[in-house]
């Protein structure tokens, strides 16, 4: 089906095209000066010491667990209400994911109370995911981490420039990870960033993202080194300059795009706030957020009803999605099974409506009318 209103629309124009062409003409397209520039601009925007480009956010998450010293038999407390990569990266280092429930249908972030219930002598870290760009209760989570001497990793894929008590998401824990996948607020097709204020962690990330080599090709090409050693078992987790150049342009557009998304969210909330049968999560949130997606939760509902509502909306030419199927229900993660009542209800009854800066107000009204009509006819 071809949708008249897609879930997401890429915020690209001739600026990204020009940036990519300039890199091609420079004849240096792999990791090099554009990656360094992208890192500097990103770290400055977040107010953090170190930002390091990666091939994708999955690589960022893998590197984060690696440099924090997670190992087999360690346990990491994590949400199930997230994309599976958040949890897969725990397994990459041999550690065990321990799922914790979300706060509820009004707040889809991991619950601090549920985190603390799941701490055991094997627990070494907590990974949070800032759903839709809305922050977890980081004061409580960081307090728990300090109490039990745990590391904190932030999956901030949804939250570039989102704030928590005046600080940017991704800068609050030990390490933050960002995604630049096609449908994210910042898009380079594929790509990621890992950020930290810890000099030692940053040094190790830079080493491991490029095979454990003491000097990369770009450093050797400009005379900073003529040879290299391999001093650790590293990976190929590098970004290239083509994507970094696009990322730099995307960063220049980010604030304006996020302000437009805020307007769109405000209109959605205004049009839907009195609608019976739905909850709009994070309605009372006051701080600046990225509004990566716009989720609604059906009340007194089932997965069958939710899917029927989606089908009617699709019939009106509007694309929707689900964020997310619960990770703990996937075959690879449901042994042993666990019970997460809020996560399971939301996974069965959440609908993600279109959200992007170029979405017109008339389109938002049309989407809201289609949702209301669907709710009345299911």
Query: How many residues make up the chain in this entry?
Result: 378
- Give the integer Cα–Cα distance in Å for 198 and 49: 8
Positive/negative CA dihedral, 84, 7, 15, 261: negative
**Distance between CA atoms of 239 and 190, rounded to whole angstroms?**
9
Phi/psi of residue 189, nearest 5 degrees: 90, -70
DSSP bridge pairs for 78: 99
How far is the C-alpha of 207 from the C-alpha of 164, rounded, in Å?
A: 31
Q: How far is it, in rounded angstroms, from Cα 373 to Cα 320?
A: 15
Write down the catalytic residue from 184, 253, 305, 372. 184
Residue 241 to residue 215: CA distance in whole angstroms: 17
Pairing mode of beta strands 102-104, 167-168: unpaired
Active site residue 146: no
Over the range 330-369, which residues count as b (16 or more CB within 10 Å of their CB) and which as e?
A: eeebeeeebebebbbbbbbbbbbbbbbbebeeeebebbbe
Beta strands per DSSP E along 156-275: 163-164, 167-168, 175-179, 192-196
Looking at the annotation, which residues are catalytic? 184
């Amino acid at each position: 089906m071809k949708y008249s209103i897609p879930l997401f629309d890429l915020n690209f124009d001739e600026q990204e095209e020009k940036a990519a062409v300039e890199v091609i003409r420079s004849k240096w397209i792999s990791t090099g000066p554009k990656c360094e520039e992208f890192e500097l601009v990103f770290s400055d925007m977040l107010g953090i010491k170190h930002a390091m480009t990666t091939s994708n956010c999955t690589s960022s998450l893998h590197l984060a667990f690696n440099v924090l010293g997670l190992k087999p038999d360690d346990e990491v407390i994590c949400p199930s209400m997230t994309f599976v990569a958040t949890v897969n990266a725990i397994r990459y280092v041999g550690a065990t994911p321990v799922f914790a429930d979300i706060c509820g249908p009004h707040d889809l972030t991991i619950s601090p109370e549920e985190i603390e219930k799941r701490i055991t002598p094997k627990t070494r870290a907590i990974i949070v995911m800032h759903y839709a760009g809305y922050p977890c209760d980081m004061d409580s989570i960081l307090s728990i981490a300090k109490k039990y001497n745990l590391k904190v990793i932030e999956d901030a894929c949804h939250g570039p420039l989102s704030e928590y008590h005046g600080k940017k998401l991704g800068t609050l824990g030990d390490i933050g990870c960002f995604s630049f996948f096609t449908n994210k607020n910042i898009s380079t097709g594929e790509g990621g960033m890992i950020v930290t204020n810890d000099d030692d962690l940053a040094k190790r990330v830079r080493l491991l993202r490029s095979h454990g080599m003491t000097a990369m090709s770009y450093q050797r090409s400009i005379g900073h080194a003529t040879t290299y050693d391999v001093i650790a078992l590293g990976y190929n987790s590098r970004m290239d300059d083509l994507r970094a150049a696009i990322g730099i342009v995307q960063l220049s557009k980010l604030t304006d795009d996020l302000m437009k998304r805020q307007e769109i969210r405000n209109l959605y909330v205004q049009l839907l706030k009195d609608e019976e049968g739905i909850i709009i999560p994070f309605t009372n949130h006051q701080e600046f957020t990225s509004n990566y997606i716009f989720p609604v939760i059906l009340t007194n509902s089932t997965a069958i009803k939710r899917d029927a509502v989606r089908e009617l909306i699709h019939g009106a030419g509007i694309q929707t999605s689900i964020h997310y199927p619960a990770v703990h229900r996937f075959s690879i993660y449901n042994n042993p099974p666990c019970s997460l009542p809020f996560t399971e209800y939301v996974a069965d009854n959440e609908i993600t409506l279109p959200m992007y800066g170029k979405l017109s107000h008339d389109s938002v009204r049309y989407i809201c009318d289609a949702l209301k009509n669907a709710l009345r006819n299911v």
